[in-house]
Amino acid sequence: MEYSNDYRDGAYGMSADMPNDGKKYCIKGFLSGSGTTPTRIILWLVAIAIVSFAIGFGILAVSGGFSPGMAHPNSPFTHTAWIASNTTDFPLGGATSGNISVTMGAGEITLNGGARDNILMEATVFSKSPEWQPDFSSTLDNTTKTVRMTDKGHTGKAWFAVDSPNSWEIRLTDNVPVSLDVNIGAGDCQLNLGSVNLHNLNVHSGAGDTGIDLGRYRGGRFDATITKGIGDLTLKVPGSGNTRITVHQGVGDITGSGFTQNNGAYVTPGFNPALPVNEIAVKQGVGSVLLEMV
Amino acid sequence: MLQNEQEYIRILKNRLEGTLPAEDLEDLLSDYREHFRLGKADGRSEDELFCSLGSPEDVAKEIRATHLVKKAEHTCSCRNIFHAVVATLGLGLFNLVFVLVPFIILVVMLLVIFLVGVAFSLFGPAAFVYAILQLLGFPSFSIWLSPVAGIFLSVGITAVGFLLVIGDFYLARFFYRMGISYLKWNIQMITGTVHTE
């Protein structure tokens, strides 16, 4: 058996005295026999890796998937990807309206509509420690169901608390009017309420960014109060609604594209005070306010 | 203390039996017998000849190490390089630092690269499936910020995994050759001799 170190021949270091050594060259021999050299395979893999990562991270960059506020801003994974979660459901139980109160000390809250049928609220908690699970209480008073979700506070060891995520994802019913009260001490809060039928909305945020998306809102008239200490606020309202937004701000910019000014307030086009008005009052200490019409 | 030439040859033979092929061992012992014969013919005593050669145990270690390094050089295998390293360790206590430590570091490094490559190769397809499920609307599989991006990224991760495994093979081969050269240099430095093929 000839000795050859030419890859194209598909044999390298083959020895008649040591036939077992040829086994590890089987893959190379097979590949050479099929017209594909190891070098070509490696080049293909490199090209595939580069193109795939370029497209993947390009999509994330263009779609705004990277959030500078995250602990790992360049990670393509959700920050709750590898954290065990638990979900608690609160059935409507025949109620025709709901009172929801969510109180968090520090962490992130994401709130959406679209809970399953006959469910008033679905609360999913992402947290590494069972000690940080919130307290739930639920009462039914005639036709109104009240649910309270309260953060007990991080009483675990300091080393465990450092950089440990505490994230709540909440879904509310779209079927009955809901009064919503969200309190968050420190952290980001994103409320996507376009499909929810609001009666009242109160948002209190100490420090952190808040996003409230009422785009495609088709529910009844509501009043909303948004009180923020420090952080940016993004508020999206439907242009077809009859909405008036008053802003009291300490330090920061206010941007309201598409709105018209009416006695210092921002109103949607075609605003008519004689009709039911969605009143939104914003009180912000420090930070920018971005009002968008969708 | 050595009594005579026969004892020297006997110790040498005992130490090298099983390492050298029988024919090579017999040739070697014949060379040493000839060396003793010529030395005695020149009027040198056995003690002088013993001193000039060194102890048979040390001579056997050196011959054994040289032979195993040469064997590892001709036939690439994990077993051969391991035997060569172990044989070289016997040449001196300091080789525990200059041979064993680098060998362990290299083995661990290659193993880590291999395991990382395997992990990426397995994780990539799993993450691809997760991306598809996330795209279909299964929230419990939501690991990607963007499932579309996740499809491409998982392909990239799989490709990187394969590259790491293949690269590890070539890296191992490279370090194998470097290791053989280093062992030969090490033996040369310790024994002060140059072995040519």
pLDDT at position A1 is 37
Percent of chain A with pLDDT over 70: 76
CB contacts < 8 Å between A and B, how many? 75
Torsion of CA A12, A16, A20, A26, to 10 degrees: 40
Q: Which residues of A239-251 are buried (b: 16+ CB within 10 A; e: fewer)?
A: eebbbbbebebee
Tell me what ipTM this predicted complex has: 0.73
A-chain residues near B144 (CB < 8 A): 76-78, 81
Within a domain: B48: no
Within a domain: B178: yes
Torsion of CA A171, A172, A174, A180, to 10 degrees: -140
pLDDT at position B146 is 83
**Strand-by-strand arrangement of the A223-230 sheet:** A135-141, A144-150, A97-106, A178-186, A198-207, A223-230, A278-286, A243-251, A265-267, A260-262
Most confident of A75-79, A97-101, B63-67, B184-188: A97-101
Within a domain: B168: yes
pLDDT at B89 over 80: yes
pLDDT at position A107 is 87
pLDDT at position A51 is 96
| Residue A43 near chain B (CB below 8 Å) | no
Task: Determine the Cα–Cα distance for residues A120 and A136; give it in Å rounded to an integer.
Answer: 14
Q: Do B77 and A63 touch (CB under 8 A)?
A: no
pLDDT at position A155 is 52
Within a domain: B175: yes
Within a domain: B141: yes
pLDDT at position A180 is 96
Range of the domain at B156: 93-190
Return the residue of B nearest to A87 by Cα: B140
Within a domain: B19: no
pLDDT at A26 over 60: no
pLDDT at position A196 is 93
Q: Which residues touch B8 (CB under 8 Å, ≥6 apart)?
A: B2, B32, B36, B50, B53, B56
Within a domain: B71: no
Which of A82, A89, A124 shows the shortest CA–CA distance to A107?
Answer: A124
Within a domain: B165: yes
| Residue B162 near chain A (CB below 8 Å) | yes
| Run of H or E residues at B33 | helix B22-41
Asked if A93 contacts A138 with a C-beta cutoff of 8 angstroms, the reply is no
Q: How many domains does chain B have?
A: 1
The answer to whether the predicted template modeling score (pTM) of the entire model surpasses 0.95 is no
Which of B125, B108, B114, B128 shows the shortest CA–CA distance to B166?
Answer: B114
Q: Do A45 and B149 touch (CB under 8 A)?
A: no
Task: Determine the Cα–Cα distance for residues A258 and A271; give it in Å rounded to an integer.
Answer: 12
pLDDT at position B134 is 83
| pLDDT band (50, 70, 90) for residue B116 | very high
Please count the other Cβ atoms lying within 10 Å of the Cβ belonging to residue A97.
Answer: 17
Q: Which residues pair with A111 in a beta bridge?
A: A170, A191
Which of A167, A181, A190, A191 shows the shortest CA–CA distance to A106?
Answer: A167
What average pLDDT does range A36-65 have in this prediction? Answer: 88
Radius of gyration (C-alpha) of chain A in whole angstroms: 28
B-chain residues near A18 (CB < 8 A): 75
